[in-house]
Amino acid sequence: MLTWPHAHSDWAPCLSEVEPVFVEIARSIADHEPVVLVCFDVAHRAHVERQLRQAGVAAERLIFALAPSNDSWARDHGPIGVICRNRPLLLDFSFNGWGGKYPAELDNAVSRQLARQGTFRDTPLEPVDLVLEGGSIEVDGSGSLLTTSRCLLAPTRNPQASREELEHQLGDWLGITRVLWLNHGYLAGDDTDSHIDTLARFCDVGTIAYVACDDAADEHYSELAAMEQELKALRTRAGEPYRLVALPLPAAHYDQQGGRMPATYANFLIINDAVLVPAYDDPADGLACERLGTCFPERTIVSVPCLPLVHQHGSLHCVTMQLPAGVLTATA
């Protein structure tokens, strides 16, 4: 699922730069699986269709839907899919603009709009009275969830819930049986309170890829080193240390005001038969793909230029949300 950028969002001044990125993401996904494209209105849909047609993106893999949105971060306003009684179920958690930092009323209604249109076919959409962004959680598919205390315990999200209460609710809704908390790790320019999908990701039940910094003069060095120590202390369900794969930290990129932007290779996207890896016109792009290739030997590694996305503080994983097989078509 992609929520396409539009002139009513913060992308307005740089649409000509960011839309080609979305076209390339849509193309890369459509090479492997169906893509839902959420457009602001009918005119916007025609505009998006025209761009994708001109780019030669596989039309038979594209599913268009209409829903006005505040922004394009589908990872955080899209539904979170689970398998319940052997059938897909979509959970509609509340989205409050990363703790009230930005307007989010339209984004928070996108999943309901799509459900009413039949985009998800007969898959139920269950509302959940809990603020939770998809980028703030990372699961291994076997009951373990990795997250950061800075985000999930932020008082601007669920101030009434303690750590223990959150763990209980996450267990009830997501079927997880243990939560692994990181208390360190951040990226300058990030406005999500340290979403885990910018820092550390499960590649399988025993492997975690994470952002590392080997430059002691870099502002991230101490925090990322402390996060690395936390990751080394974690254990798999079998009681073994995780296989940790360090991803390079891209060279610093700055916005027009001189603020550093949160470029990260941890924001990769796993799709059917492939892994899409963000690229930042950086010497480390190739190394990131090489290291992730060792984590996903059975999948094709695809590099996708994403530098324009970090101007709005996110990247490839942030603008996408996967849906369980069977939600879109009988053979999805």
Residue 191 lies in a domain: yes
> How many Å apart are CA 180 and CA 331, to the nearest integer?
34
The tens digit of pLDDT for each residue in 137-185 reads 999 999 999 999 999 999 999 999 999 999 999 999 999 999 999 999 9
The 8-class DSSP code of residue 235 comes to: B
Residue 328 lies in a domain: no
Q: How many angstroms separate the Cα of 14 from the Cα of each of 6, 18, 270, 308? A: 10, 6, 27, 8
Q: Per the structure, how many domains does the chain have?
A: 1
Is the torsion defined by CA of 173, 176, 178, 183 positive or negative? negative
Residue 327 lies in a domain: no
Residue 329 lies in a domain: no
Q: What pLDDT score was predicted for residue 330?
A: 47
Residue 31 lies in a domain: yes
What is the C-alpha radius of gyration for the chain, rounded to an integer number of angstroms? 19
Residue 326 lies in a domain: no
> How many Å apart are CA 238 and CA 223, to the nearest integer?
28
Order of all β-strands in the sheet with 125-131: 80-84, 87-94, 125-131
Backbone angles phi, psi at 82, to 5 degrees: -135, 165
Which residues of the chain fall below pLDDT 50?
Answer: 330-332
Residue 22 lies in a domain: yes
* Residue reference for tokens 């799509």: 114
- CATH number, domain of 236, equals 3.75.10.10
Q: What pLDDT score was predicted for residue 331?
A: 42
Q: What pLDDT score was predicted for residue 329?
A: 65
Residue 128 falls in which region: left (phi positive, over 0), alpha (psi -120 to 50) or beta = beta
The tens digit of pLDDT for each residue in 205-221 reads 999 999 999 999 999 99
Residue 82 lies in a domain: yes
Q: How many residues does the chain have?
A: 332
Domain extent, residue 196, equals 2-319
